[in-house]
């Protein structure tokens, strides 16, 4: 069974995650690096854009938006939505996933990989949000 | 005689009357008993594998020698034979190197749609009629190079022996010759058609464990397990084939992955699911224009071996009798491979069943 039956279901979870982490250390580092990161998912198909460069309405460090086509980004990570879920839930060894071809990366990978050590608190938030929504 | 002609790509086979000349020097006329229906024929019918048309397809067959041309010494009339679709020449670079699967002359025959020396023995009212892989066994009779007939024990049922002409030898050889699977090695097989099932049963014979079978048709689960699969993954239940295989192999990845479909996603997944320094063997025949992509850093850092296997890297004159011996002594299962027989007149039904995945192997019986 696929983890998410629709893009809406996945977007609903990520929207809440973004709201809870937009002022976190990870978001702050994204802002300091001035990075725009895209996650391109398949089955269901949609794109997540984490923008740490453009100014935000509420002064937070980053914004997260959802798209059908790939907007301009410094780096993009393409995978199935199932593999995307593994990433957000903290069950992915990113270098291994890249080597196996489960995730295909393009662009400023080195800059983006520097942020990985800051991600574990995000994983916790993602897993909590899923629990609250009775998904995981 | 009656034969199934492919006039043009994307058409059904036309079962009609065609002419066949007597065998020339180093050629053999075989009266067909049985011919298996293989995905490669289907690829040609779909236009994915370009060969000269019109042609009589069929490359997995067995029958009885009816007449031999001059200079033929390896068989005589009355001999039971399996056809080999790589009638290796014995004198090109690859044949001399001990790799008859890569024989240049056999490849030329495939491209030219003729017999060695650009000879054509087939004809019909509508002009030239090509040979296919030097076999053309979707016909009551065929003329083939003498290097393309392998004599077998006449006690073996020819409808079982036919499958050894392609599916069984391809799967067996990929495990034995290409991969050298050893006891306790983990093996994953993507695609559980006629070839895939033979990869599975040969892996079992080699002592592999676990043997993970993957197919997009959940109904193949039982069949895969009959042939020795210890686990089955329904590919429609997960977009990511790699994660479940990693989970079933203690987080390491599989020692060997065999791709038996010939699709971009599954070839990439086969490479991805193999452990570091493991081996991915691509057996599936993809259309010639298709490309795949792999992570470049992983080549040195993970040192996996990515290779192909064509006709099981076999030496048919050695391997075909060897496989049939294993069958006669109950070590390889050919009986459960043939799940449906058809007459030549109903050959298009056999192809429909093939693409719907409702049979392990359909066989035309003459
Ligand atoms: Zn075949
Ligand atoms: Zn040769």
What number is the ipTM of this complex? 0.78
CA gap A52, A58 in Å, rounded: 13
> Do B278 and B354 lie in a common domain?
no
Quickly state the pLDDT bin for B305 (edges 50, 70, 90): very high
Task: Please tell me whether residue A116 adopts helix, strand or coil conformation.
Answer: helix
What would the two tokens of residue B201 be?
């049963």
> Do B175 and B299 lie in a common domain?
yes
CA gap B284, B335 in Å, rounded: 23
> Do B28 and B157 lie in a common domain?
yes
Q: Residue B362: pLDDT above 80?
A: yes
Look at residue A2 in the predicted model and tell me its pLDDT: 82
B315 in contact with A, Cβ within 8 Å: no
CB atoms within 10 A of CB B223: 23
Phi, psi of A93 (to 5 degrees): -90, 105
Look at residue B249 in the predicted model and tell me its pLDDT: 98
Q: Which of B188, B239, B304 to mutate to test the interface with A (most CBs of A within 10 A)?
A: B239
> Do B7 and B50 lie in a common domain?
yes
Contacts of A8 (CB under 8 A, 6+ apart): none
Among A82, A83, A101, beta carbon nearest to B271:
A101
How many domains are contained in chain B? 2
Per residue in B83-123, pLDDT tens? 999 999 999 999 999 999 999 999 999 999 999 999 999 99
> Do B234 and B283 lie in a common domain?
yes
Domain annotation covers residue B222? yes
- From the CA of B133, the nearest ligand is 1
By CB atoms closer than 10 A (0-12, 13-18, 19+), residue B349 is middle
Distance from the alpha carbon of residue B22 to the mean position of ligand 2, in angstroms: 25
B40: annotated active-site residue: yes
Look at residue A134 in the predicted model and tell me its pLDDT: 86
Look at residue A108 in the predicted model and tell me its pLDDT: 86
Domain annotation covers residue B318? no
Query: Can you tell me the mean pLDDT for B123-135?
Result: 94
> Do B175 and B159 lie in a common domain?
no
Q: Residue B50: pLDDT above 90?
A: no
> Which domains are assigned to chain A?
7-131 (3.30.1050.10)
Domain annotation covers residue B324? no
Give A75-108 as a DSSP string: EEEEEEHHHHHHHHTT---HHHHHHHTSSEEEE-
> Do B112 and B211 lie in a common domain?
no
Quickly state the pLDDT bin for B127 (edges 50, 70, 90): confident
Domain annotation covers residue B141? yes
Look at residue A119 in the predicted model and tell me its pLDDT: 86
Look at residue B119 in the predicted model and tell me its pLDDT: 95
Structural domain including B13 reads 2-165+334-365
Query: Can you tell me the mean pLDDT for B16-28?
Result: 97
Look at residue A69 in the predicted model and tell me its pLDDT: 86
CB atoms within 10 A of CB A72: 8
Look at residue B201 in the predicted model and tell me its pLDDT: 98
The radius of gyration computed from the CA coordinates of chain A, to the nearest angstrom, equals 14
CA gap B141, B62 in Å, rounded: 11
Beta strands in B37-185 (DSSP E): 55-56, 61-68, 80-83, 122-124, 127-128, 141-145, 149-151
B137: annotated active-site residue: no
Per residue in B215-265, pLDDT tens? 999 989 999 999 999 999 999 987 799 999 999 999 999 999 999 999 999
> Do B269 and B136 lie in a common domain?
no
CA gap B140, B56 in Å, rounded: 11
Among A1, A86, A98, beta carbon nearest to B243:
A86
> Do B131 and B50 lie in a common domain?
yes
Per residue in A54-65, pLDDT tens? 999 899 999 999
- Residue B268: give its domain's CATH number: 3.40.50.720
């Amino acid at each position: 069974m696929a983890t998410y039956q629709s893009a809406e279901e996945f977007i609903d979870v990520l929207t809440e995650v973004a709201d809870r982490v937009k002022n976190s250390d990870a978001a702050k580092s994204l802002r300091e690096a001035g990075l725009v990161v895209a996650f391109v998912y398949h089955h269901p198909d949609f794109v997540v854009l984490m923008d740490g460069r453009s100014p935000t309405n509420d002064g937070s460090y980053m914004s997260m938006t959802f798209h059908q086509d790939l907007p301009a980004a410094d780096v993009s990570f393409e995978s199935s939505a199932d593999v995307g879920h593994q990433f957000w839930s903290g069950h992915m060894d990113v270098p291994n996933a890249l080597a196996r071809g489960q995730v295909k990366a393009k662009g400023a990978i080195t800059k983006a990989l520097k942020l990985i050590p800051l991600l574990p608190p995000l994983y916790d938030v993602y897993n909590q949000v899923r629990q609250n929504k009775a998904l995981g | 005689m009656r034969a199934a002609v492919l006039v043009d790509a994307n058409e059904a086979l036309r079962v009609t009357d065609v002419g066949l000349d007597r065998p020339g020097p180093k050629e053999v006329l075989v009266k067909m008993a049985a011919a298996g229906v293989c995905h490669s024929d289907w690829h040609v019918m779909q236009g994915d594998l370009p060969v000269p048309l019109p042609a009589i397809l069929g490359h997995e067959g067995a029958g009885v020698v009816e007449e031999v041309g001059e200079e033929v010494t390896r068989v005589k009339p009355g001999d039971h034979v399996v056809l080999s679709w790589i009638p290796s020449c014995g004198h090109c670079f690859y044949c001399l190197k001990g790799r008859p699967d890569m024989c240049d002359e056999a490849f030329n025959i495939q491209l030219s749609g003729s017999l060695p020396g650009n000879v054509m023995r087939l004809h019909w009212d509508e002009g030239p009629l090509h040979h296919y892989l030097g076999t053309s066994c979707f016909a009551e009779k065929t003329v083939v190079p003498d290097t393309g007939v392998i004599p077998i024990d006449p006690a073996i049922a020819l409808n079982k022996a036919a499958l050894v002409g392609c599916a069984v030898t391809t799967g067996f050889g990929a495990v034995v010759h290409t991969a050298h699977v050893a006891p306790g090695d983990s093996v994953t097989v993507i695609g559980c058609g006629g070839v895939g099932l033979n990869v599975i049963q040969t892996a079992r014979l080699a002592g592999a464990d676990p043997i993970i079978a993957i197919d997009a048709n959940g109904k193949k689960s039982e069949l895969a397990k009959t042939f020795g699969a210890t686990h089955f993954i329904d590919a429609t239940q997960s977009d990511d084939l790699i994660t479940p295989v990693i989970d079933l192999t203690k987080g390491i990845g599989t020692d060997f992955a065999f791709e038996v479909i010939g699709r971009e996603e599954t070839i990439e997944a086969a490479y991805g699911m193999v452990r570091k320094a493991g081996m991915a063997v691509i057996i599936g025949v993809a259309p010639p224009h298709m490309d795949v992509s792999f992570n470049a850093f992983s080549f040195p850092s993970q040192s996996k071996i990515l290779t192909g296997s064509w006709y099981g890297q076999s030496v048919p004159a050695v391997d075909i009798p060897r496989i049939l011996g294993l069958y006669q002594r109950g070590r390889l299962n050919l009986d459960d491979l043939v799940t449906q027989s058809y007459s030549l007149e109903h050959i298009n039904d056999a192809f429909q069943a093939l693409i719907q995945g409702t049979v392990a192997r359909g066989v035309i019986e003459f």
